[in-house]
Amino acid sequence: MKFDYILLDLDGTLTNPIEGISKSINYAMEKMNKPPVPEERIARHIGPPLRDGFMQNLGFTEDEAELAVELYRERYMPTGLYENVLIEGAQELLERLSAAGKTIAMATSKPEEMAVRLMEHFNLLKFFNFISGASMSADGRHSKTEIIEHALETLAISGDKLSRTVIVGDRYHDIEGAKNTGIASIAVLSGFGSREEFEEHGAGYIAENLPEACEIILSE
């Protein structure tokens, strides 16, 4: 088989979290006496680490970004996390990969604790061999490369196994993380990235949606 070890991004790949993220970012903005951010601009936050998003997309200083993350989580952890919907084909993807005997892991910039809770909420945790996410602390694991490396190390994926490993994601961070760790990438257009973004960063494959990504994975 072409791919035996499958890493899946979360936000924008398996779920659409825009409502909860938008409301929680603007909760933080209000608490900091800053103007609200329109939803179309907030979409840029989905994919990269949250602290980076506040600094790169909203011009926050490092200290401001740290405070914004704390305020964001005040609302997001009890409420915003669940203002979330599965992207079409997500459950079917997991069911087909599991039935085919694939090793399935998650590699997400969302903190691990939140990712686990969300998968429990959707009754999908049973499909995953491991969930690798970001650290809740500012000095912990945050880059997609670090998150992928953590998954690979935990699942003992190295050597020849790397050539049979792929990450499915919806932003360029997933593509760059794949390149940095020596695995393949499938970029899906059903999330928050564009074909131009994927082509610019050299995605291994570009799929219109999750069913098409599944066919790529399961092809001989």
| Tokens (6 digits) for 204 | 């291994």
Q: What is the pTM of this model?
A: 0.92
Residue type at position 109:
S
SS3 132: strand
- Within 10 A of 122 (CB to CB), how many other CB atoms are there? 16
| Structure confidence by residue, pLDDT tens digits, 15-27 | 999 999 999 999 9
Cβ-based neighbours of 105, under 8 Å, separated by 6 or more: 5, 6, 7, 8, 128, 129, 130, 131, 132, 151, 154, 155
Share of the chain above pLDDT 90, in %: 85
| Structure confidence by residue, pLDDT tens digits, 113-146 | 999 999 999 999 999 999 999 987 666 677 999 9
**Residue 67 pLDDT greater than 90, yes or no:** yes
Q: Between helices 62-76 and 50-58, what is the axis angle to 10°?
A: 120
CB 25 within 8 A of CB 45: yes
Which are the catalytic amino acids? 9
Looking at every residue in the chain, the average pLDDT score rounds to 94
Rounded to whole angstroms, how far apart are CA atoms 59 and 24?
Answer: 18
